[in-house]
A and B are shown apart, each in its own frame.
Chain A
């Protein structure tokens, strides 16, 4: 399957612990996005990369959150000192930017984080 993959699919952690999620985009897609979704709500944008450059960060991305895309391929999202309010589905998406045809995003299955 050549879609977006995310790892792990589920993560349970205790409050105060650090967690890291990984996203592998569709091959050759140059943009990679992170979103967060809480129960009953639509996904909310967190940040996105063009190749290895982080182009935009939402104000939702507090200092405890950091995202990287070191070689312009896979990306990691780290949450330090997790809080119960961080419990959510973390979604990754990728797109190939052509600036010609809408450049739709394709989503992965998500990582569900539960903070106890």
Chain B
């Protein structure tokens, strides 16, 4: 069973920051938080992951709360191409990923 909870859908205006929340209250100490996204009919695309500290790369930022029970993925300047299903996954590095149903993010022009 998926170990994360995400809102089923969100909208965001083009050019604004998209903030996608995820709850993972049962996360274990050795589990990472991974974010993937899937654009219609394509394979999932890796976005970012983190263990304890906040992380940033060219695609997004990941903010993990101090107790690690929740996190937020931030897309700083959303474009229409960011419309996708976003999956938040917790797991041990290298082991199987357990996907939930994710958040369907729609970027509004």
Contact = CB atoms under 8 A, between A and B. Distances in A.
A91 B44 contact: yes
Q: Which of A48, A101, A107: most chain B Cβ within 10 A?
A: A107
Contacts of A33: 96-97
A98 B32 CA distance: 14
Interface residues of A, number: 30
B2 to A, nearest CB: 8
Interface of A: 4, 31, 33, 35, 40-45, 48, 56, 58, 89, 91, 93, 95, 97, 99, 101-110, 112
Interface string B15-39: 0000000000000000010101000
B61 to A, nearest CB: 16
Q: Is the interface of B mostly helix, strand, loop or mixed?
A: loop
Contacts of B43: 4, 91, 93, 107-110
A45 B94 CA distance: 13
Given A102-B32, A102-B34, A102-B51, A107 B96 contact: no
Interface residues of B, number: 24
B97 A45 contact: yes
B93 A99 contact: yes
Contact of A45 (B32, B44, B96): B96
Contact of B44 (A41, A95, A101, A107): A107
Nearest to B44: A107
A104 to B, nearest CB: 5
Given A99-B93, A110-B43, 15 more contacts: A33-B96, A42-B102, A43-B44, A43-B97, A43-B99, A45-B96, A45-B98, A58-B96, A89-B41, A95-B94, A102-B50, A103-B94, A105-B97, A107-B45, A110-B42
